Amino acid sequence: TAKLSPEKLLCQLRDRVNVTMIQGSDGPFGASEWQQYLPGKSLSETVGHLGRCAVVSSAGSLKSSHLGQEIDSHDAVLRFNGAPIKGFQDDVGQKTTIRLVNSQLVTVEEKQFLREALYNTGILIVWDPAPYHAEIHEWYRKPDYNFFESYKAYRRTHPEQPFYILNPKMQWQLWDILQENSLEHIQPNPPSSGMLGIVIMMTLCDEVDVYEFLPSKRQTDICHYYQKFHDHACTMGAYHPLLFEKNLVKHMNQGTDEDIYTHGKATLPGFRKVRC
């Protein structure tokens, strides 16, 4: 199928991608043992009405960007996985409102996850690469990474910190739109944390500035701003359909190409501001 106009695409995202967090009413999570763990308030109640928001990718191209002040000037900042702030404030800022983590980190890196102070700031959201359009029950029995016990352990030690589980339906609703707007077949793997975080912020904020998701002139094979590791796939994608995600964001960008080139910055409207 042909690509939709940016306006139509924004409407599709707004109307077809249901950004919800797991609640007690979601099948197996209604069991009494879960009641004490899931946050009482919804995510939008917890964050309130947000104006300008920033999404900070973990790309190596953030290094020496000096974007810290600009990023912190936003009402809310979303970061990913283990992306640190300490020692990198000048480039990535120091505000963290939401941290989106994948279920691999919560299980495989459980020790660090439960111990490191990095995770204790802001609101946590975990997501898991569930099977394509699986029912909640099916996913619950067979998550990609069984992070549920680790989630509970974290909730027991940090009961006051809001910590949500993303409803996995969202990632496949988003994937369907990615596929429909690409001329090639996309690998049937869920979108990256980056793309999920962008859409989450579009539901919460009036405007979303995304940093170094579309790479700037600082583009590099260095995977993360906080590590020495080189891998081209970090920017272009291997498991995740990252290239298609980036094309979609480029297509919807309301900022200038100059802002992408110099600041790695793309600007997207919040869904509240989209008229269909």
Listed ranges 30-38, 58-66, 130-138, 152-160: which one lies at the site for ligand NCC (CB under 6 A): 58-66
CB 62 within 8 A of CB 89: no
Is residue 217 classed exposed, middle or buried when 0-12, 13-18 and 19+ CB atoms within 10 A define those classes? exposed
- C-beta of 113: minimal distance to ligand NCC in Å? 9
Residue type, 230: H
Among 19, 47, 50, 59, binds ligand NCC (CB under 6 A): 59
> How many angstroms separate the CA atoms of 68 and 88, rounded?
8
Listed ranges 7-15, 42-50, 55-63, 113-121: which one lies at the site for ligand NCC (CB under 6 A): 55-63
Helix (H) or strand (E) holding 91: helix 89-92
Nearest residue (CB) to ligand NCC, 82 versus 162:
82
Among 29, 119, 148, 213, binds ligand NCC (CB under 6 A): 213
Question: Any contact of residue 171 with ligand NCC (CB under 6 A)?
Answer: no
Question: Any contact of residue 234 with ligand NCC (CB under 6 A)?
Answer: yes
Residue type, 59: A
Helix (H) or strand (E) holding 8: helix 6-16
Question: Any contact of residue 264 with ligand NCC (CB under 6 A)?
Answer: no
Question: Any contact of residue 57 with ligand NCC (CB under 6 A)?
Answer: yes
Among 119, 235, 252, 270, binds ligand NCC (CB under 6 A): 235
Question: Any contact of residue 82 with ligand NCC (CB under 6 A)?
Answer: yes
Alpha helices in 109-232 (DSSP H): 110-115, 136-141, 148-157, 169-180, 193-204
- C-beta of 249: minimal distance to ligand NCC in Å? 10
CB 72 within 8 A of CB 123: no
Q: Which of residues 94-113 bind ligand NCC (CB under 6 A)?
A: 102, 104-105
